[in-house]
Amino acid sequence: MERTISRGDWQPPAPPSLRGKALRSFRDYALNDVQSRTLTPRTRELYERQLERLILPHFGETEVEKITTTNVRAWYAQLCPEQPTQRAHAYALLRSILSHAVDDERITANPCHIRSATSRRRMKNVEPAKPDDLARLQSELQPRFALPILIAGWCGLRSGEVRALRVKDVDVVGGWIRVRQGVTRISGQVLVGPPKTPASVRDVAVPPHLLPSIKTWIEHLPKGEAERYLFPGREPTAPMSEKALRHAFAKAKELIDRPDMTFHDLRHTAATLAAQNGATTAELMRRLGHTTASMAMRYQHSSAQRDRQIAEALSSLLKSEEK
Higher pLDDT, residue 154 or 43: 154
Quote the CA–CA distance of 231 and 235 in Å, as a whole number: 11
Let me know if 115 is a catalytic residue.
Answer: no
> DSSP of 190-215, one letter per residue?
EEEES-SSGGG-EEEEPPGGGHHHHH
Out of 158, 166, 268, 301, pick the active-site residue: 158
Q: Looking at residue 312, what is its pLDDT? A: 74
Q: Which of 113-117, 119-123, 311-315 has the highest mean pLDDT?
A: 113-117
Let me know if 299 is a catalytic residue.
Answer: yes
CATH architecture of 131-307: Orthogonal Bundle (1.10)
Q: Looking at residue 20, what is its pLDDT? A: 43
Let me know if 24 is a catalytic residue.
Answer: no
Helix (H, G, I), strand (E, B) or coil at 86: helix
How many other CB atoms are there within 10 angstroms of residue 134's CB atom? 25
Q: Where are the domains of the chain?
A: 2-103, 131-307
Quote the CA–CA distance of 15 and 82 in Å, as a whole number: 41
Quote the CA–CA distance of 249 and 242 in Å, as a whole number: 10
Q: Do the Cβ atoms of 63 and 14 come closer than 8 Å?
A: no
**What does the pLDDT look like over 40-89, one tens digit per residue?**
787 888 999 999 999 999 999 999 999 999 999 999 999 988 888 899 99
Say yes or no: do domains 2-103 and 131-307 share a fold: no
Mean pLDDT (the chain, rounded)? 85
pTM, full prediction = 0.70
pLDDT at 11 over 70: no
**What does the pLDDT look like over 206-241, one tens digit per residue?**
999 999 999 999 999 988 788 999 999 988 889 999
Let me know if 27 is a catalytic residue.
Answer: no
The H or E element containing residue 183 is: strand 182-186
pLDDT at 258 over 80: yes
Let me know if 44 is a catalytic residue.
Answer: no
2-103: in CATH 1.10.150: yes
Out of 267, 268, 287, 301, pick the active-site residue: 267
Out of 29, 47, 229, 299, pick the active-site residue: 299
Quote the CA–CA distance of 236 and 227 in Å, as a whole number: 11
pLDDT at 6 over 60: yes
First to last CA, the chain: 84
* Closest among 132, 125, 161 to 262, alpha carbons compared: 125
Out of 209, 264, 306, 308, pick the active-site residue: 264
